[in-house]
Structure 1
Amino acid sequence: MDKQITHGWEQSESLELPKRFENAENVCVVGMGGSALGSDFISAAFGGSLSAPIYIVNDYIIPAWVGKNTLVILSSYSGNTEEVVAAAEEVLGKTDLVAVVTSGGKLGDWAEKNSIPAVVIDPKHNPSGQPRIGIGYGIVGQMVILAKAGLLSVTKEDVQSMALQMKRSHAEYGDAAEEDKNKAKQLAQNIKESLVVLMTAEHTTGAGHIFQNQLHETSKQLAVNFKLPELNHHLLEGMSHPKAVIEKMVCVLVSSELYNKRNQKRIEVTKEVLEKQDICTEVFVPMGKTALEQAVDVVMFASYTTFYLAMLNNINPAEIPWVDYFKEQMK
């Protein structure tokens, strides 16, 4: 994934946005599945430096609140995601602050026809062709658009830092790392045949969403994702029934010394409450000195964990037969 990050930056840093994009006051990202994961990652990992809120729309319709000062990013890895293509048809009537992230397809053609600024990905470092496995391209493409619009401060050094952290993560979680020292291999073993409940906070919440998505598509295993502190206000009371489900559940808490002190304590107390209810818990502490590096490490940890879990589940991690079947029936 480090190659995706650096290659994506090289492809997109030359993007030029008209001066009017500096008028953006909020951001609407339209994307589905893996194509929407980048904006969730950015919103969480760069939460302290973003100068405008990001709203993610997973639907056909552009929200009514989108107006002339809204930057709309249409994100579709293939360029043929029907919800995003449908949204493109109506967006120009609401704002002219529109940009695209895609590898081509109908959305790429639409952007060219309408002279819409676009980051057109050449995904040579994602031979699988799956958006979730090409997440590095999506993250960088959207980062560059936000930076060029003056909404996010990001430099080549930030990108290099992300790529370097990915290399460190690869050394830690990659297949060459022995299982007794490999946290990704260990977690895959511990969550096999379980309902995975992910619990994240602050800068790791976007990475938590990516983790959930990859558990579904890569491992073909059910997972849910909750955020602290919100989950403490309801979820802990829902851990009693149905008994058959609770017994098959593993809660994975992502902790960090960079969290707000109260959230650090919430992680500890949440773990205590779960264990008092005899619920299996795992705690993962990401590597990295900054929020961005830690968010990147969670993504890498998730990618390796879900791949190893796919092997344990004896399934092909690249194929998505039910999603493909569904799309075929929708034609």
Structure 2
Amino acid sequence: MANVDKENMISVLDNFWKQCEDAQRLGKNIVVGLPINGIVLCGMGGSAFAGAILHSYLDFSVPFEVCRSYFLPKWVDHNTLVIVASYSGNTEEPLAAFKEARAKKAKIVGIAKGGKLEEMCIQAKAPFIKVPSGLQPRDAMGYLTLPLINVLQNSRIIKDKTGEIEDAIGALKKSHHENAKDIAAKLKGKIPVIYSSQKLECIARIWKCKINENAKTTAFFNVFSELNHNEIESYINPAKNLFVIIIEDKNDFDRIKKRMAIMKKLVQDSGIPVLYIKLSGDSLLARILSSVLLGSYVGYYLALENGADPTEVEILENFKKQLGTPIN
């Protein structure tokens, strides 16, 4: 295991609860002035996970959008909160969005380990949350998510979530090793397809990305009930090496749960194996973070099954070199 896991990702996953414990202390000094007519979180890859999690977890009274693009939504103006998230601080798409947000005089908050984003925030006199370095962006979910909850609380955009954060940290101490090993063994040589409700799209999306980046293999995701209006037909003639994972939350809408149950049988009848996971736990944040942590472990153990270093992202880095530095 040590020969494959060269950068000791297993330690990062085992200590995710400690990351969250540390992260909950960040961002407590930042207050964004009201009024706010909408919130946009700009980020890519693992840095956008924070936006996906916040979108699933929180009930906002204003529009909330995750922007995985160079360009902001057209509706952004001077009363919009634009959160620019880039773990490295150098991701070109959110940096481009930062410039547009500044031109529109939006209310900007940056979060990164440093880099150009920190410099731009200092220049613009925008609040900046500096998080610890030394992680892959996809493994920094705690550092990129919990400080933003603090900012939103401080700014009276959401209610206080301190108790739910503490509950989530406690839930993250539970071991996922054996369950993840078992799931990874089932997924070896398969193409995972992960389904969740639209409400909890963040879970299906993060599972898919963790399998892609950690295990270096193909995976896809979709959400109920959209997939019942198109993708369902693919099971008439499915690829033979699919493996479907359906993730149900205890608070999913009843009609969504019924769709999931019917879909499970339909997929199994087509000859494709299905793993049905039911999330439990007191708080929604605990269920979300525990589930994405399990997905991280699954990606990790599937990497070991594939003989791949779970941390290395060679193709991604080579692609960025070929792309070159953007012209300002």
Give the TM-score normalised by structure 2. Answer: 0.90
- Structure 2 unaligned segments of length 5 or more: list them: 1-15
Looking at structure 1, the residues matched to 278 and 212 of structure 2 have their Cα atoms a distance apart, in angstroms, of: 22
- Do residues 229 (structure 1) and 225 (structure 2) align? yes
Where 1:218 maps in the other structure, the secondary structure is: helix
Aligned to 2:208: 212
1:306-317 to 2 correspondences below 5 Å: 306-317=299-310
Looking at structure 1, the residues matched to 198 and 95 of structure 2 have their Cα atoms a distance apart, in angstroms, of: 32
Return the letter of the residue paired with 2:194: L
Return the letter of the residue paired with 1:166: L
1:85-96 to 2 correspondences below 5 Å: 85-96=95-106
Deviates more, 1:25-34 or 1:201-210: 201-210
Which of the numbers 181, 190, 202 marks the counterpart of 1:185?
181
Percent of pairs identical after alignment?
A: 25
- Do residues 267 (structure 1) and 263 (structure 2) align? no
Say if 2:168 and 2:283, in contact at 8 Å, map to a contact too: no
Say if 2:26 and 2:150, in contact at 8 Å, map to a contact too: no
Where 1:284 maps in the other structure, the secondary structure is: strand
Aligned to 1:327: 320
- Structure 1 unaligned segments of length 5 or more: list them: 175-181
- Do residues 56 (structure 1) and 56 (structure 2) align? no
Return the letter of the residue paired with 1:215: I
Looking at structure 1, the residues matched to 163 and 271 of structure 2 have their Cα atoms a distance apart, in angstroms, of: 45
Return the letter of the residue paired with 2:282: K
Which of the numbers 253, 257, 263 marks the counterpart of 2:250?
257
1:1-331 to 2 correspondences below 5 Å: 1-17=16-32, 19=33, 22-46=34-58, 49-123=59-133, 127=134, 129-168=135-174, 171=175, 173-174=176-177, 182-241=178-237, 246-331=239-324
Looking at structure 1, the residues matched to 80 and 67 of structure 2 have their Cα atoms a distance apart, in angstroms, of: 13
Return the letter of the residue paired with 2:43: G
Say if 1:61 and 1:87, in contact at 8 Å, map to a contact too: yes
Looking at structure 1, the residues matched to 106 and 232 of structure 2 have their Cα atoms a distance apart, in angstroms, of: 45
Q: CA deviation at 1:202?
A: 4.8
Looking at structure 2, the residues matched to 202 and 87 of structure 1 have their Cα atoms a distance apart, in angstroms, of: 26
Where 1:147 maps in the other structure, the secondary structure is: helix
Looking at structure 1, the residues matched to 306 and 48 of structure 2 have their Cα atoms a distance apart, in angstroms, of: 26
Q: CA deviation at 1:118?
A: 1.4
Return the letter of the residue paired with 2:316: V
Q: Which runs of 4+ in 1 moved over 6 A?
A: none
Aligned length: 309
Give the TM-score normalised by structure 1. Answer: 0.89
Q: CA deviation at 1:38?
A: 0.8
Where 2:25 maps in the other structure, the secondary structure is: helix
Looking at structure 2, the residues matched to 257 and 56 of structure 1 have their Cα atoms a distance apart, in angstroms, of: 25
Return the letter of the residue paired with 2:56: A
Looking at structure 2, the residues matched to 76 and 299 of structure 1 have their Cα atoms a distance apart, in angstroms, of: 19
User: What is the root-mean-square deviation in Å for CA atoms of aligned residues?
Assistant: 1.5
